Structure 1
Amino acid sequence: MTQPASDTPVRHPAVRPDWLARHREAALEPGLPIIDPHHHLWGEARGRYLLDDFLVDAASGHDIRASVFIECDTAYRTTGEARFQPVGETEFVVEMAERAAALGGPRVAAGIVGFAELTEGASIRDVLEAQIAAGRGRFRGVRHIAAWHPDAAARGSLATPPPMLMLQPRFREGFAQLAPLGLSFDAWMYHTQIAELRDLADAFPETPIVLNHVGGAIGIGPYATRRRHVMAAWGAALRELAHCQNVHLKIGGLGMRLFGFAMHEREAPPDSATLAEAWRPLVETCVEAFGATRCMFESNFPVDKAGFAYGTAWNAFKRITASWSAWERAALFHDNAARFYRIAS
């Protein structure tokens, strides 16, 4: 399984509740239905964020109907064959989901995206079948992070897989097992690697793929002073990728240090108008490339919680789309996630 490299001490900024408490704002348009298609749950080792913590954030006044849990290397089994240990994460999240169902409110982890070591090739199928069984009807797909860059200063992901992971024959043998089992793939990489995903999507047009976090437009390290160059290269790569009709795009994750906005370094948390101004060029580029039917807004909490509150992020997305049509907004906030992850309304 992928491990952080010793030469890249990448860490997400810490969540500071006292700092976040310095700014609060009411939810805009509280009746607009939302499915949050990207959040994590994890224990103390990474800064506790469990069901109760997510429910507090979700109770920010927005109409959060359901959510999708995305793998984050948490609660793995500590015994048994190593290749099956990630199934423990799915078992852990199902317990959280069932607790949430008993409480009422948002359908937390209505979809679960877990991990399986796809570089094992075709033999990974039994692990995928175990994940499906453990998910009790919630398991939807796999994320296998491919984010790699030769310059450590440009890296913004905790994982450091080998270069050109998605082009490896053994990875593709494992990837080929997804569609026959009705599973999708969550992709996470930097904008410098999007052409590799285009190649993968072309090779497997029957596999639903969703690219996380707007495709990782790097704004740190050697790219920190080259935003115009990055925007041009990233936008062109997205437009090429959008030709693959099986690929969708998540819009969010912009609180990560990778993007260079550094909201977590401000004296006080940003308000939604500030976030909307910063994010608008990226959001509009994404939707221009993929259209309103293949994009979905995401929270990426608790990672993005280091830079702003949950409700503030959704307010920012609502501000950006205030002049859009009702069907476009319904698609990006709810309908596309429901369709991609097969979440019944």
Structure 2
Amino acid sequence: MTNVDPLLGPGRQIIVREEWLKLTEEPILEPNLPIVDPHHHLWQRAQGSYLLPELLADAGSGHDIRATVFVQCGEMYRAGGPVEEQPLGETEFVTGIAAVSASGRHGATRACAGIIGMVDLTLGDKVDALLEAHRAIAGARFCGIRNRTAWHPSPEVTSNLVSPPPGPLEHPAFPEGARRLARHGLPLDIWCYHTQLAHVIALARAAPELTIVVDHVGGPLGIGPFAGRQAEVFPEWKSRMLELAALPNVVVKLGGLTMHVSGFDFHRRPKPPGSQELAKTWQPYIESCIEAFGANRCMFESNFPVDKGMCSYPVLWNAFKRLAAGAGAGEKNALFSGTAMRIYRLDGLPQALSVDLSVAGA
């Protein structure tokens, strides 16, 4: 299908318009609440790069962002060599950016304190050596794996799947690769749509020793055949998320709801949404997850720059803080930093940047 929508760029992601985002500005809520942003990307693209300067500009816009976690997005793969080794280029690229940030010359935020890379978990015996190769590059920063898994048969639904559909979640070798990942003490991030959650449930049961991180509240769809059907999608999505919550090896990232696939259209308005409206819109999804999983198995995420097409970084975190307004101190610490630090083992952060994990219930 030809993309004729001027607000959508390559991959049908919403184009970031900085001047438009500035039309909605708010005071920062709870500016001293420590935050670890456990999900963002970095890339260099003709239509909007997002590299260390852009990330630090967002992280430094008012909230207390102590550290961030980079998540696999297929950037800077090696141009040659064995195909399975090409994703090592992404880890090399991000490790360099993390080292620049760790110098302290660009502010207090430790960008890419954790790095989630790509190893094809269907590769059998090769998985172990590839995991060790990532660790040799990134050291202790290497904290997890994500494969390309999001897929839906409708051509109207954005897919990031490279391998032939329906993709690795249904590949018979995938559970064994996931168990290998667990033996290395690493979690698996999974980005899928709500229509694929049954496969995540099956995987979590097949590999109970593996920590699975479900990205973007499980991907409730609102485009293509699901356009305008949020009320119908919600109970199906919630039922699957409750099944996942019953499995103790699954945690969930709270965010990603301003991606194009969510079906919300804030980007088409004259002004960006404020945090009150975002919190009200997201409340059913966020509260359902926190109630089902508990704060110690949930973490707020920015998913920038993908979600930046609909709202700014300050407004995004204000919305999350509004959603957590009724939580106690320990729950807030878990939601905004503690769960991320525990799952991705970021407790090696410099003491000045660390968060008390005992308060977060770790």
TM-score, normalised relative to structure 2: 0.90
- Deviation of the 1:10 alpha carbon: 4.0
Q: Match for 1:186: what amino acid? A: D
Which sections of structure 2, spanning at least 5 residues, go unmatched? 4-9, 348-353, 355-362
State yes or no: 1:200 paired with 2:200.
no
1:229-268 Cα deviation digits (max 9, x unpaired) = 1110000000001111111000001110111111111111
* Separation (CA, whole Å) in 1 of partners of 2:161 and 2:311: 23
CA contact (8 A) 1:66 1:107 kept: yes
Q: Match for 1:106: what amino acid? A: T
Q: Secondary structure at the match of 2:37?
A: strand
1:77-105 Cα deviation digits (max 9, x unpaired) = 11222211101111110110111111241
Q: 1:211 to 1:46 in 2, by over 3 A?
A: farther
Which residue does the alignment assign to 1:157? 159
Which residue does the alignment assign to 1:129? 132
Q: Match for 1:173: what amino acid? A: E
CA contact (8 A) 2:66 2:109 kept: yes
Which residue does the alignment assign to 2:351? none
CA contact (8 A) 1:121 1:172 kept: no
Which residue among 161, 167, 171 is the counterpart of 1:168? Answer: 171
1:168-188 Cα deviation digits (max 9, x unpaired) = 222223222201112110001
State yes or no: 1:101 paired with 2:102.
yes
User: % of aligned pairs identical?
Assistant: 50
Q: Secondary structure at the match of 1:111?
A: strand
- Deviation of the 1:27 alpha carbon: 1.1
CA contact (8 A) 1:113 1:140 kept: yes
Which sections of structure 1, spanning at least 5 residues, go unmatched? 1-5
Deviates more, 1:45-54 or 1:63-72: 45-54
Q: Match for 1:169: what amino acid? A: P
Which residue does the alignment assign to 1:290? 293
CA contact (8 A) 1:164 1:196 kept: no
CA contact (8 A) 1:11 1:158 kept: no
Q: 1:160 to 1:46 in 2, by over 3 A?
A: farther
Q: Secondary structure at the match of 2:122?
A: helix
Which residue does the alignment assign to 2:306? 303
* Separation (CA, whole Å) in 2 of partners of 1:45 and 1:86: 21
Q: 1:79 to 1:160 in 2, by over 3 A?
A: closer
- Count of equivalent residues: 337
1:260-311 Cα deviation digits (max 9, x unpaired) = 1111111111111111111111111111121111000000000011111001
* Separation (CA, whole Å) in 1 of partners of 2:112 and 2:80: 25
User: Where does 1:217-236 land on structure 2 (aligned, <5 Å)?
Assistant: 217-236=220-239
